[in-house]
Amino acid sequence: MSNSYFRKLPNFEYVNRTVDGKNISDYTTVKNLFKRAQIRPDIFENATFFSKYFIEGNDRPDNVADKVYGDPTLDWVILLSNNILNIQSEWPMTQQTFETYLLEKYLDIRLVQDTHHYESIEVKDPDGKILFPAGLEVDEDQSITYFDRGSESYVTINDMVTEVTNYQYEERMNDDKRQIFLLKTKYLNIVLDDLEEMMEYKKGSTQYVSETLKRADNIRLFE
């Protein structure tokens, strides 16, 4: 049985209408895209249910699901586990897409190698004490002066800045998306069972037909 998210969505039937508003007797069946699944809070907010995972190369969510769960149709579990709503902007780009993105953003390949910003290099005193941490965004002429007890004099460090190009910055931003969390396999059935329950229609609505079907004369009247 397929675990495809789309297949698990319940159905909704509505009456077709002609341009003049008259009903057509046949109903049109569509998937209810307004139904949204989620991992329940007591699982989603508990780190012990998840493990860290690094997305390799050009892997898509279905590739990751196949590697981890042995089922590519469980890609939606990957996305829900990381609260990813827009795969285009929240999933790492392939190398080809990344290069196209750079050209579209910077227009000229030469501008990709221009300076985006400067970052600090870690500075320590002779005793190994960190005076200035690495990775902070700083000015190009950033320096630090400290009192060296060994020489009993003030020492100024000027060589403590490194350039970060536009390419390096964009690559870093893209690679940051590669670190995700995956629901541990032993908890997978809990989420699958929860999904089945979430997708069921409940009695009480005038549109209710069954647990998997609602029907209305006008799709805009959907409840």
Q: For 13-33, what is each residue's pLDDT tens digit?
A: 666 665 544 555 577 776 666
What is the predicted pLDDT for the residue at 56?
94
Please check the confidence at residue 117 and state whether its pLDDT lies above 70: yes
Average pLDDT over residues 155-165: 96
Angstrom distance (rounded) from CA 118 to CA 137: 6
Please check the confidence at residue 196 and state whether its pLDDT lies above 50: yes
What is the predicted pLDDT for the residue at 222?
43
Helices 166-176 and 95-106 pack at an angle, to 10 degrees, of: 140
What is the predicted pLDDT for the residue at 109?
86
What is the predicted pLDDT for the residue at 194?
80
What is the predicted pLDDT for the residue at 64?
97
What percentage of the chain carries pLDDT values higher than 90? 61
Phi first, then psi, for residue 73 (nearest 5°) are: -75, -5
Average pLDDT over residues 66-78: 94
Please check the confidence at residue 189 and state whether its pLDDT lies above 70: yes
Angstrom distance (rounded) from CA 9 to CA 76: 12
Length of the chain: 223
In angstroms, the first-to-last Cα distance of the chain is 29
Three-state secondary-structure class, residue 74: helix
Read off the tokens for 127. 């005793």
For residue 76, the tally of other CB atoms under 10 A from its CB is: 20
Burial class (CB in 10 A: 0-12, 13-18, 19+), 59: middle
What is the predicted pLDDT for the residue at 28?
72
What is the predicted pLDDT for the residue at 207?
63
**Adjacent-strand bridge partners of 145:** 156
Average pLDDT over residues 3-10: 64
Rounded to two decimals, what is the model's pTM?
0.74
Asked whether the beta carbons of 121 and 163 are under 8 A apart, the reply is no
Please check the confidence at residue 223 and state whether its pLDDT lies above 50: no
- At 9, is the pLDDT very low, low, confident or very high (cuts 50, 70, 90)? low
Strand 11-17 and strand 213-216: the pairing is parallel
For residue 117, the tally of other CB atoms under 10 A from its CB is: 14
Least confident of 5-9, 157-161, 163-167, 211-215: 211-215
Domain spans, the chain: 5-90+177-221, 110-166
Nearest to 183 by CA among 84, 66, 44: 44
Task: Rank 13-22, 35-44, 144-153, 186-195 by mean pLDDT and report only the highest.
Answer: 144-153
Please check the confidence at residue 220 and state whether its pLDDT lies above 60: no
Average pLDDT over residues 98-110: 94
